[in-house]
Structure 1
Amino acid sequence: MIGISDIEAAARSIAGHVVRTPTVPSPGLSALLGAPVTAKLELLQRTGSFKARGATAKLLSLSAAERAAGAVAVSGGNHGIALAVMAAALDVKATVVMPETAPARSIGIAREAGATLRLTDGMDSAFALVKELRDEGLTLVHPFDDPVVIAAQGTVGLEFADDADELTDVIVSVGGGGLIAGVAAALRARRPGVRVWGVETEGAQAMSEALAAGGPVPVALSSVVTTLSAPSVSRLTYDHVAALVEDVLVVPDREAVRGCLDLAEHAKVWAEPAAGCLLPAARQVLARVGGGARLGLVVCGGNATPGEVMAWTERFGLR
Structure 2
Amino acid sequence: MIGIQEIEDAAGRIAEHVVRTPTVPSPGLSALLGVPVTAKLELLQRTGSFKARGAAAKLLSLTEAERAAGVVAVSGGNHGIALAVMASALQVKATVVMPRSAPARAVEIAESAGALVRLTDDMAGAFALTERLQQEGLTLVHPFDDPVVIAGQGTVGLEFAEDAGELTDVLVSIGGGGLIAGVAAALRAWRPGVRIWGVETEGAEAMSRALAAGGPVPVTLSSIVSTLSAPSVSQLTYEHVAELVTEVLVVPDREAVAGSLELAEHAKVWTEPAAGCLLPAARRVLERVGDGARLGLVVCGGNATTGDMIGWASRFGLR
Give the aligned partner of residue 89 of structure 1: 89
Q: Which runs of 5 or more residues in structure 1 are unaligned?
A: none
Q: Please give the per-residue CA displacement for 1:148-203, whole angstroms capped at 9, x wherever unaligned.
A: 00001000000000000000000000000000000000000000010000000000
Report whether the alignment pairs 1:29 with 2:29: yes
- Distance in 2 (CA, whole Å) between partners of 1:222 and 1:124 is 12
Task: Write the mapping of 1:77-116 to structure 2, written as runs, cut at 5 A.
Answer: 77-116=77-116
Q: How many residues align?
A: 319
**AA matched with 2:42:** E
- Distance in 2 (CA, whole Å) between partners of 1:34 and 1:310 is 28
- Distance in 1 (CA, whole Å) between partners of 2:299 and 2:91 is 29
Task: Write the mapping of 1:262-277 to structure 2, written as runs, cut at 5 A.
Answer: 262-277=262-277
Give the aligned partner of residue 42 of structure 2: 42
- Distance in 1 (CA, whole Å) between partners of 2:214 and 2:162 is 33
Give the aligned partner of residue 173 of structure 2: 173
**AA matched with 2:133:** L
Give the aligned partner of residue 311 of structure 2: 311
Q: Secondary structure at the match of 1:274?
A: helix
Give the aligned partner of residue 54 of structure 1: 54
Task: Write the mapping of 1:113-262 to structure 2, written as runs, cut at 5 A.
Answer: 113-262=113-262
Give the aligned partner of residue 71 of structure 2: 71
Q: Please give the per-residue CA displacement for 1:85-112, whole angstroms capped at 9, x wherever unaligned.
A: 0000000000000001100000000000
- Distance in 2 (CA, whole Å) between partners of 1:203 and 1:73 is 22
TM-score under structure 1 length normalisation: 1.00
- Distance in 2 (CA, whole Å) between partners of 1:124 and 1:318 is 31
- Distance in 2 (CA, whole Å) between partners of 1:254 and 1:131 is 33
Q: Secondary structure at the match of 2:95?
A: strand
Q: Which runs of 5 or more residues in structure 2 are unaligned?
A: none
Give the aligned partner of residue 4 of structure 1: 4
Quote the offset at 1:242 in angstroms: 0.1
**AA matched with 2:6:** D
Q: Secondary structure at the match of 2:216?
A: coil
Give the aligned partner of residue 19 of structure 2: 19
Give the aligned partner of residue 283 of structure 1: 283
**AA matched with 2:139:** T
- Distance in 2 (CA, whole Å) between partners of 1:15 and 1:24 is 20
Q: Secondary structure at the match of 1:171?
A: strand
- Distance in 2 (CA, whole Å) between partners of 1:318 and 1:34 is 23
**AA matched with 2:134:** R
- Runs of at least 4 residues off by over 3 Å: none
- Distance in 1 (CA, whole Å) between partners of 2:292 and 2:259 is 23
- Distance in 2 (CA, whole Å) between partners of 1:131 and 1:199 is 28
- Distance in 2 (CA, whole Å) between partners of 1:274 and 1:125 is 22
Quote the offset at 1:76 in angstroms: 0.2
Quote the offset at 1:144 in angstroms: 0.1
Q: Secondary structure at the match of 1:130?
A: helix
Q: Please give the per-residue CA displacement for 1:119-153, whole angstroms capped at 9, x wherever unaligned.
A: 00000010000111011100000000000000010
- Distance in 1 (CA, whole Å) between partners of 2:294 and 2:25 is 11
Quote the offset at 1:286 in angstroms: 0.3
**AA matched with 2:191:** R
- Distance in 1 (CA, whole Å) between partners of 2:152 and 2:114 is 24
Quote the offset at 1:66 in angstroms: 0.3
- Distance in 1 (CA, whole Å) between partners of 2:198 and 2:135 is 34
Q: Secondary structure at the match of 1:172?
A: strand
- Distance in 2 (CA, whole Å) between partners of 1:75 and 1:247 is 25
Q: Secondary structure at the match of 1:162?
A: helix
Q: Secondary structure at the match of 2:159?
A: helix
RMSD of equivalent CA atoms: 0.3
Quote the offset at 1:240 in angstroms: 0.1
**AA matched with 2:242:** A
- Distance in 1 (CA, whole Å) between partners of 2:245 and 2:167 is 15
